[in-house]
A and B are shown apart, each in its own frame.
Chain A
Amino acid sequence: MTERDVDWELVTRVQRGDKHAYELLVSKYQRRITRLLSRIIRDPSDIEDVAQEAFIKAYRALPSFRGESAFYTWLYRIAINTAKNHFAAQGRRTPTRSSGDLEDAENFEDASGLRDVATPDALLLSKQVGEAVNRAIERLPEDLRTAIVLRELEGMSYDEIAAAMNCPVGTVRSRIFRAREAVAAELRPLLGTREDQRW
């Protein structure tokens, strides 16, 4: 089973009527969708509105999703279309950010190809996140650092990481978990809010 299979399993659960499964997908992808929209839409409150609308539209369309593409790819297109409709509803033909961004967005798997016009606050937070991650990674023992980098940045499976690191799969699993805990612990003071206690 791969990460994409996990998404597909969540999708099929939603298609069987399980709304909780959809909340997990929203939770997983909300930052990537918000990031994508933040590179197209200027007003932060509009970004959140459009993101919410995109997630609800995706939920309504989910019965027709058959898994030919990755769930995120499909969701991404819905977000782009929702942003287009947002501008159309406002009577604007082009996005407020940079002309052509929407067209560009359709050609990228994520938002990395779009021009970055983040607000100073967003830039500061982004910088702080980067520093927190670097601190966490530097403090990690070498074996944990290697395992998490191979998993999160290289996308390797546990079997592949075990072969690369010459250790059992169970050890890889434990190392990745402990590395995740360490990175999350470093991010909590920065990004944790009372709203995180929503579950």
Chain B
Amino acid sequence: MSAVHRTGRPGLADADLEQLSAWLDGELEPEQHRAMLERLKSDPDLRAHFEWFNLAGDALRSQEVAACHQPRLVIRVREALKLEPVRIGPGAASGSKVRRHLATALTIAAAAGVLVVVALPQLRSTDVVSAPAILPPGPPGPVAKTGPQLDAYFRAHRELASTGVMPSAMEYIRNSGEPDR
């Protein structure tokens, strides 16, 4: 008996089938993995072994599942698929899991970048709530109301919410409680 063609199928060496078996388990290098997928497309003998190896796995895990072997179903689905238009999805843009994760990571990084650029200066400026000196000259803004109660309130508020991002709105907040005169 030949060690190479123990399967009795011309063209399929044990090495090919061993590689198929490893592919099923996700144990091939990416390059070999892609090559195996291409071969499975065009080699009916290899596909038949693909099915038998899967069946063996199913049978080992559950005899009931293996007993549900219905070759006709696969034929029927294949025939029905012929009538279906080709479906194009997000996988067309992201060919591999690595690329998918990379895209996710880039999205997160971009969001973090925006956060740093936009929010960080705002966070830093909360310490200088009233900083008219650094504002460029322009039309007169609202004049802040004063009063010991309001000052105490805002002091307490600043202590509690030290990360406020709208210090320049304080004047509006102060005035909003006062009726227009």
Q: A-side interface residues toward B, CB under 8 Å? A: 1-6, 8-24, 26-28, 30-32, 34-35, 38, 48, 51-52, 55-56, 59-60, 62-67, 112, 116, 118, 122, 125-130, 132-133, 137, 148-149, 151-153, 157-158, 173-174, 176-177, 180-181, 183-184, 187-188, 191, 193, 195-199
Knowing that A1-B26, A63-B88 are A-B contacts, what are 5 other residue pairs whose CB atoms are under 8 Å apart, sorted by A's residue number?
Answer: A15-B88, A112-B62, A129-B59, A133-B63, A153-B60
Q: How far is the CA of A173 from the CA of B78 in the complex (A)?
A: 31
> Is B159's beta carbon under 8 Å from chain A?
no
> Chain B contact residues: over half helix, strand or loop, or mixed?
helix
Q: Give residues in B with beta carbon < 8 Å to A.
A: 6-7, 14, 17-18, 21-28, 30, 33, 37, 40-41, 44-45, 47-78, 80-81, 84, 86-92, 94-97, 100
> Across the interface, do A32 and B25 meet the contact criterion of CB distance under 8 Å?
no
B68 & A6 in contact (Cβ 8 Å cutoff): no
CB of B66 to closest CB in A, whole Å: 5
Indicate if the CB atoms of B27 and A157 lie closer than 8 Å. Answer: yes
What A residues does B70 contact at CB under 8 A?
30-31, 34, 48, 51
Our count of residue pairs bridging A and B at CB distance below 8 angstroms stands at 215
Cβ contacts A to B, 9 pairs, < 8 Å: A15-B88, A31-B66, A48-B70, A56-B77, A59-B84, A133-B66, A176-B25, A184-B53, A198-B71
Q: B71: shortest Cβ distance to chain A, in Å?
A: 4
- The answer, among A30, A148, A199, for a CB contact under 8 Å with B47, is A199
In the complex, the answer to whether B17 meets A177 with C-beta atoms within 8 Å is yes
A153 to B90, CA, bound (A): 33
Residues from chain B with Cβ under 8 Å of A55 in the complex = 77
Contact B67 A122 (CB under 8 A): yes
Q: Would you give the shortest CB distance from B93 to chain A, in whole angstroms?
A: 9
- Contact A16–B65 (Cβ < 8 Å): no
